[in-house]
């Protein structure tokens, strides 16, 4: 059942590359989180950027988890294999992105409505009292560079692998560097005495991120609900479905669903798949109603109104 065709060599190579990229991402992100924590102080403005960097650790971890378990054979506990793990990781990654966008907007609105003037203090450094804003800008500038580079690489790799977790992670990286730049603009604004600059910049970027997150969430929900395969970056039904339909010569309903990067094609059985009441009762007694669908070759009395004798 789990005898899956092996992946073509170039896909395997790309997958390996994606995995390496994600390990690099984790390493860089951890260093960014550490640097940001150092200069954060009690600044509300920085706290948002920091929380958002913590959140962006999630998609790489999810990708690595999914990639690790992807090829695992079916077992008695998981008779269909672990294909769905990719779908689950995608949902969680999309959730992280949505949460991040939502948090940024919430934080920005909170500051703007309460008219909270962000206070940025100073630290003693090399015998001088240095405004923390400078250090924050330096840390934010540092936090912008790795996501730009890694995100671009991942985004280029995602369509080939049809990897939605990787794609979502690339979007998360885009969100990272955008919030980093917004943070720099915000701190400069605060430096010029414009207290709302930071919140406004974060809010605008937050709206952008929230939109990406909600779109990814829609796609991932469709995937988990056995919906038809969707495009990588939109909830539209993928063009692959029509191509598969055209390649099936018989005139029977064809159903395609996806788990992670893989497609599962079902050409409708010529039999009714509704179980017979006799089988339901025999198998589960009172709980027989829970069996609603029986596929695959089966003895005639298991299904209702078996049609295979008609031939």
Partner 1 sequence: MTRHLRPWLWLIAAVTMLTGCYFPDDPKHTLATIERQGVIQVGILAEPLPEADAKVIARFAKSLGVRTDYVRGPAHALLAGLEEGNIHLLAGDIPEDTPMASHAALSNPYPPRVRLPGRTESRSEKRVLLLRKGENRLLLRLNRSLREAGQ
Interface residue list for partner 1 (CB under 8 A): 42, 116-122, 124, 129, 131, 133, 190-195
**CA quadruple 32, 19, 179, 91: dihedral positive or negative?**
negative
Q: Which is nearer to partner 1, 133 or 260 (CB)?
A: 133
Distance CA 1, CA 18 (A): 27
Least distance (Å) between residue 196 CB and partner 1: 9
Distance CA 209, CA 39 (A): 25
Distance CA 220, CA 288 (A): 32
Q: Which is nearer to partner 1, 129 or 310 (CB)?
A: 129
Using CB atoms within 10 Å of the CB of residue 134, give its burial: 0 to 12 exposed, 13 to 18 middle, 19+ buried.
Answer: middle
Least distance (Å) between residue 203 CB and partner 1: 18
Least distance (Å) between residue 125 CB and partner 1: 11
Q: Which is nearer to partner 1, 6 or 124 (CB)?
A: 124
Q: Which is nearer to partner 1, 102 or 191 (CB)?
A: 191
Backbone angles phi, psi at 116, to 5 degrees: -80, 120
Least distance (Å) between residue 41 CB and partner 1: 10
Q: Which is nearer to partner 1, 24 or 134 (CB)?
A: 134
Q: Which is nearer to partner 1, 192 or 285 (CB)?
A: 192
Least distance (Å) between residue 122 CB and partner 1: 5
C-alpha torsion angle, residues 133, 134, 140, 142 (rounded to 10): -160
Distance CA 113, CA 120 (A): 20
> Looking at 41-170, which runs of residues are DSSP E strands?
122-125, 128-131
Least distance (Å) between residue 124 CB and partner 1: 6
Q: Which residue has the tokens 């395997």?
A: 12
**CA quadruple 258, 263, 269, 273: dihedral positive or negative?**
negative
Least distance (Å) between residue 102 CB and partner 1: 24
Q: Which is nearer to partner 1, 78 or 195 (CB)?
A: 195
């Amino acid at each position: 059942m789990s005898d899956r065709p092996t992946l073509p060599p170039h896909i395997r190579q790309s997958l390996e590359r994606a995995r390496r990229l994600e390990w690099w991402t984790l390493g860089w992100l951890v260093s960014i989180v550490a640097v940001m924590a150092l200069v954060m102080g009690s600044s509300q403005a920085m706290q948002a950027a920091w929380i958002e960097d913590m959140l962006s650790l999630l998609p790489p971890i999810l990708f690595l988890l999914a990639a690790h378990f992807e090829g695992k054979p079916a077992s008695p506990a998981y008779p269909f294999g672990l294909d769905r793990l990719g779908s689950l990781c995608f949902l969680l990654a999309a959730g992280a992105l949505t949460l991040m966008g939502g948090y940024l907007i919430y934080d920005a609105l909170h500051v703007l409505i309460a008219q909270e003037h962000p206070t940025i203090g100073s630290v003693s450094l090399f015998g001088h009292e240095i405004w923390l804003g400078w250090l924050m800008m330096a840390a934010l500038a540092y936090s912008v560079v790795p996501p730009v580079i890694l995100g671009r690489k991942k985004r280029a790799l995602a369509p080939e692998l049809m990897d939605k977790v990787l794609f979502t992670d690339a979007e998360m990286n885009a969100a990272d560097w955008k919030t980093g730049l917004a943070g720099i603009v915000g701190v400069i604004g605060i430096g010029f005495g414009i207290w709302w600059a930071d919140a406004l910049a974060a809010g605008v970027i937050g709206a952008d991120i929230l939109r990406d997150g909600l779109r990814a969430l829609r796609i991932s929900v469709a995937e988990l609900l056995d919906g038809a395969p969707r495009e990588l970056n939109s909830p539209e039904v993928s063009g692959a479905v029509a191509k598969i339909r055209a390649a099936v010569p018989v005139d029977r309903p064809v159903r395609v669903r996806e788990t992670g990067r893989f497609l599962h094609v079902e050409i409708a059985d010529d039999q009714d798949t509704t179980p017979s009441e006799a089988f339901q009762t025999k198998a589960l007694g009172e709980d027989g109603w829970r069996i609603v669908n029986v596929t695959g070759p089966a003895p005639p009395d298991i299904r209702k109104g078996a049609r295979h004798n008609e031939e």
